[in-house]
Structure 1
Amino acid sequence: MAGKARTAALAASVVLGAVLPMTAAAPANAAAVTCANGSWLAQYYANTWLGGTARKTRCEGASLNYNWGAGHPAGIALSNGHFSARWTMKRDFGGGGPIAFNVSGEDGLRLYVDGVRRVNLWSDVKRDHGAGFTLNLTPGVHTVQLDYSVYQGRADVRLGYAPAAYDTVAPNAVAGFKAAHFPEEADNRVGLSWTPNVEMDLAGYRIYRGTQSWNAYAPANLVATLSPLARSWVDASGAFTYAPNSSYAIVAYDTSGNVSPVTPALLKPVNYTPPGAPNHFQLFGYSGNETIDWDGAGSGEYDVYRSTSPNGPFTLLASTDMAGYTDASGSPTVAYYYRVDETDIYRNTSPLSAVVGPTAIETP
C-alpha cells in the first residue's frame, strides 16, 4: 500500500465515540475463569482471528505491557509470530470522570469499552502503531476489552489508561467509615477504618476530629493526611477525651484537588470479634515472582505465610496492609503454598486462611 493510502486507512480505522458492533463474542470457555476487579482475563489462540477454543485462559494482573520479540508467551503451545489474544477486564472506576486510553503494538489491535469498539487497527504492519482517546466514564464498573493478533515477525502490545489531566470529577464518598474507642488504653486511642476508594487518581484521605456529632469537619479539626493506600488509622495522640458525642469525619481527594463528600463517624465501643479468614485467593505468575490476591475485611494488616508443602510448616513471609502480595524471594524451580491471616485495628487476629497453591513453575 502506498504511504498516503496506508496512512489514510489507519486513520480511518481509529474509532472515537462511534458505536460499532463487536466482531467476536467472548468464547464460552472464558466463563470458567473469574478474575479480580482490575485484573485482566487473558485468552490465547493458535490463530490470528481469535477462533476456536483458547489454548490458554488465565488471570494476568493489572498491567498489560508485553514484548515477546520474535517469540510467544512462555508455557503456551503457540507458533512464534502467529497467534492472537483477547484481554478482558472489569474495573470499578469509582466516581468515574474522563479517562485517557492509549493502545499500541504490532500487529492487529481492537479496543472496546463497555462493548463499544473505540479503536480498530486490525492489520499486518511492519512497526508499532497505535491510537489514543479520552472517554468520560460514568461512576462504577466498566468493561475494557483488547483484541490482539500477530501475523508474522515481532509481537508486542501494550494498553495504558489513566485519569485525564483536566479531571473535575470528585471521588466517591468514603464508605464503611468506623471509629471505636479503646477505654483500656492510657492514651485514649481511637481506631478508625474504612473501605478503600478505587479511583485511579486518588491522592489520599484527610481525617478530622470533633467534640460533637456535627462539628468534626472543619479545617481546624484536621488531624491526619494519609496516603491513598491507607484503609485504617489509629489516633493515639492522647489529646482527645472520649465523650458520647465525639466524632470523626473523613474525605478522599484526588490528584486534581477534587474532594469527596464528607463521611462522618460517631465513636462506638471497641470490637473484640476477630475478622473472618481471608478468602477468594488468586495466583498470578510463576514461582520466584508470584502475586497473590485475596479478599479480606480490609480493616487492618495481613500476615502472609509460605511453605513448600501444603501440610506445612508455614513460616511468616511478610506483613502488608494491602489485600495482595508479590513474592519475589522464592526459587523459580520450587512450588510454594501460602496461608494468610488478618489483624484488624482492634488487634483481633483472624484464623489462618485455607492453603493456597501450589505456584506454577515456568517452563522454558
Structure 2
Amino acid sequence: MFPARRTATAATVVLATAGGLLTTATTPASAAGCTSPVYTRQFFANTTFSGTPKRTDCDSAVAESWSGAPATGLPADNFGVRWTVTRDFGSGGPFSLAVRGQDGMRVYLDGSRRIDLWKNTSSTVWRTVNLTVPPGKHTLRVDYVNWTGTAAVSFTYTPLTSATADQVKPLVPAGLAVSYDRTTGRAQLTWARNKEMDLSGYRVYRRAQGVAFPAAPLAATTGTSYTDSTLPVTGAAYAYEVRAYDKAGNTSYGSADVAVTTVDRTAPAVPGGLQVTDTSEHDGLRLGWNPVAQAVSYRVYRAPGADGPFSLIGSTGEPSFRDGTGTPGVTYAYRVSAVDAAGNASAPSVVIMDRRWDDTPPSAVTGLTVTPTGYGFHLAWDANPTPDLARYAVYAGRVISDEDLKACEVYAAEWLSTDTTSYDYATLPDGEERCFFIDAVDDDWNSHYEWTRSPNIVTATEQDTTPSVPAPEGAPISLDATVPQRGLAQVELNWNHVADATGYQVYRWNPQTTAYEKLAQTTQTTYVDAGLTEGTTHYYRVTALYADGSESAPGADGAALAP
C-alpha cells in the first residue's frame, strides 16, 4: 500500500534582466499555480482523460494509494489521474525513470511515451527505464488509471551518478559577480544556481593577473556565494572563475572571469645598507642606502640617541639625504623607512650613529718661544682657547735661504695633548738656524695650519756643541747613535762588522778636556752608554782593533738627550 499524501500549492516570483531593465518573470506553472518541480495533478472521472478534470491541484511527488474515490466527485473505480511537470534539467544526462503500482501507468517525456504498463492488474507491477535527457527544459507526464480494486501508483526520476554512466559536464555557472570591500580587503562572489539534479557543488578559482588559474581550487562550496578573506592586500589585480561539479566527478568549464584590484596595505621592504657618505660641515651630514623596489619615497628620522625618540626630519625620492640641520660636532642616530605609492611605510632600517663634522679650524697658537739648549731647543707657548681642541702638533725644520728666498722646511715632529704647552726638541746642536711652529688641531682633525697655511713661525739658532776634533774620512765603521726611549737617559750605539777585526774600541767626547776618551772595548757591534744626564748631548767614536795592535779610522756620531 502507498500512504495517502496531501500537498500544498506553491508559487515563486524571480527577478531577471532584459535589455538592461528590471522586469519580473514567473517560472512556468499550471493553471493551479504549481511551481516546478511540483507536479500539476488532474483528476478525471474516466479512464480516457476526456472532458474537464474534476479537480486540479499540486503534488510534490507521485506516490499515492487510495481506497475508494480519490477526490470528491470521482468514482471509486474507473478514474484517471494525470501528473505533469516542466523543469530545467540543466546539462541533462542519464536518468532513471521508475514507475510502480497497480492498474494502468504510462510515462511520457516531452510527449514521447517511455513506459507503458497499461492493464488492469490485481498485483503490483513496476518498470525502470534508463535514458538520456537532453539539456534544458523538458516535460514529464505520468498517466494513471484505476479500473477496479486497489488504486496505487508511484513514480521517480533520478539522475544516474556513476562515473561510467554519467560523462556529461555540468553547465558553466552563470551570473558570476564580485564585490570588493576596501575596508576589510575581502571579495564577495555570487552566481546563479545550476539546474542539474546531480550537482555536488562549485569550485572557486583565483589567479593573479597575467598567470593561469592553478590546478587546485581556492575553495569548494555547495552554495552560490563565497567570501574570499585571503586576498593579499598588495594593490595587485586578481581574477576569479567558478566551475560546477557533479556526483559523477564531471566538472564544468570555467565561468566568465571577474576581476578585482586589491587595496594596497603591504609595506615595501626595509631599506638596507644605510651609511654615512659625507660628514662635512658645509654640505651637512649625507646618508645613503640601497634602493627599495616599489618605493616612491623615503622618510628619514633622527634622534639624539640610538633609543630615540626619533623625529621625521625629511623625505626624499632618492636613496640619499642631506641633513643640514644638525649641530656640527653633535652625534645623532639615524634610520630610514621606504614608502610606496599607496602610502605604506616599511619598518625602520637599522640605526646608525654619526655626527656632522666641524669644518671650522682652531685659532692659531700664539706666544711661542724657542730657547736654544745643550740638547737642542726648549719650546713654550700659550694655551689655545679653542673649545673642541684635541691636540697640538709640533712642527720643526731647517731654515733654507738663498738670494731671493728664505723658507722653513718642516715636518711634524710630535703630537701632544691639550694640557701641554711646552716641548723639548732634541737635536745635535751644530749652530744651524732652525724654525718651529705649533699647530692646533680639533676633535674633527681640523688643523689651523692646513686650513690657513699661515702658521706663527719662530726661528732660532742652535748652540754649537760639535767636537773640535773632526772625524777623519775613509773609516771602515759606520756608527749610528740613537736614544732608544725618552726618559731612559742612555744612548745606544750600533755599527757594522769589520772583517779581520778582533774587537772594537768605543770613545766618548769630553768637552772639558776637548778630547775623545776611551769608554769601552767590546767584540760586539753594539754598545749602550747608560747612566747619562738628561738634557745633554754626547758624541762618540768607534774604531776597529786588529791582531797587530793597530786601530782603524773611527766612525763618529752623536745623540741629544732631551729632559
TM-score category (smaller protein) = 0.5 to 0.7
- For 1:154 and 1:44, how far apart are their aligned partners in 2? 17
2:82 partner letter: R
- For 1:67 and 1:137, how far apart are their aligned partners in 2? 29
1:207 paired to 2:204: yes
Q: From the superposition, tell whether residues 76 and 244 of structure 1 become closer, same or farther in structure 2 (CA, over 3 Å).
A: farther
> Of residues 187, 192, 209 in structure 1, which corresponds to 2:189?
192
1:64 paired to 2:56: no
Q: From the superposition, tell whether residues 38 and 240 of structure 1 become closer, same or farther in structure 2 (CA, over 3 Å).
A: farther
SS of residue matched to 1:171: coil
SS of residue matched to 2:148: coil
- For 2:232 and 2:95, how far apart are their aligned partners in 1? 42
How many Å apart are 1:256 and its aligned residue?
0.8
1:226 partner letter: T
1:232 paired to 2:235: no
TM-score (norm 1): 0.59
SS of residue matched to 2:257: strand
C-alpha offsets along residues 175-208 of structure 1, whole Å, 9 cap, x if unaligned?
A: 11111101133xx121111110111111111111
TM-score (norm 2): 0.39
2:221 partner letter: L
1:180 partner letter: S
The question of whether the paired residues in 2 share the 8 Å contact of 1:245 and 1:266 is answered with no
- For 2:74 and 2:30, how far apart are their aligned partners in 1? 22
> Of residues 100, 114, 117 in structure 2, which corresponds to 1:121?
117
Q: Indicate the residue corresponding to 2:50 in structure 1.
A: 51
Q: Indicate the residue corresponding to 2:248 in structure 1.
A: 256
Deviates more, 1:189-198 or 1:34-43: 34-43
Q: Indicate the residue corresponding to 1:137 in structure 2.
A: 133
In the TM superposition, 1:18-97 aligns within 5 A as 32-61=31-60, 63-68=61-66, 70-73=67-70, 76-97=72-93
SS of residue matched to 1:98: strand
What is the RMSD computed on CA atoms of the aligned residues? 2.3
The question of whether the paired residues in 2 share the 8 Å contact of 1:213 and 1:266 is answered with no
In the TM superposition, 1:191-340 aligns within 5 A as 191-212=188-209, 215=212, 217-220=213-216, 222-227=217-222, 230-237=223-230, 239-241=231-233, 243=235, 245-267=237-259
How many Å apart are 1:174 and its aligned residue?
0.5
1:207 partner letter: V
C-alpha offsets along residues 132-190 of structure 1, whole Å, 9 cap, x if unaligned?
A: 211112111111111001122211111111122311111010011111101133xx121
The question of whether the paired residues in 1 share the 8 Å contact of 2:202 and 2:245 is answered with yes
1:199 partner letter: E
Aligned length: 231
Q: Indicate the residue corresponding to 1:23 in structure 2.
A: none
- For 2:210 and 2:72, how far apart are their aligned partners in 1? 59
- For 1:97 and 1:33, how far apart are their aligned partners in 2? 30
SS of residue matched to 2:176: strand
The question of whether the paired residues in 2 share the 8 Å contact of 1:247 and 1:264 is answered with no
> Of residues 103, 106, 113 in structure 2, which corresponds to 1:107?
103
The question of whether the paired residues in 2 share the 8 Å contact of 1:99 and 1:134 is answered with yes
SS of residue matched to 2:140: strand
SS of residue matched to 1:52: coil
- For 1:234 and 1:225, how far apart are their aligned partners in 2? 11
Q: From the superposition, tell whether residues 213 and 129 of structure 1 become closer, same or farther in structure 2 (CA, over 3 Å).
A: farther
- For 1:242 and 1:265, how far apart are their aligned partners in 2? 20
Q: From the superposition, tell whether residues 213 and 104 of structure 1 become closer, same or farther in structure 2 (CA, over 3 Å).
A: farther
1:196 partner letter: R
Q: From the superposition, tell whether residues 268 and 72 of structure 1 become closer, same or farther in structure 2 (CA, over 3 Å).
A: farther
Higher helix residue share: 1
How many Å apart are 1:37 and its aligned residue?
3.0
- The higher-RCO structure (CA 8 Å, 6+ apart) is 1
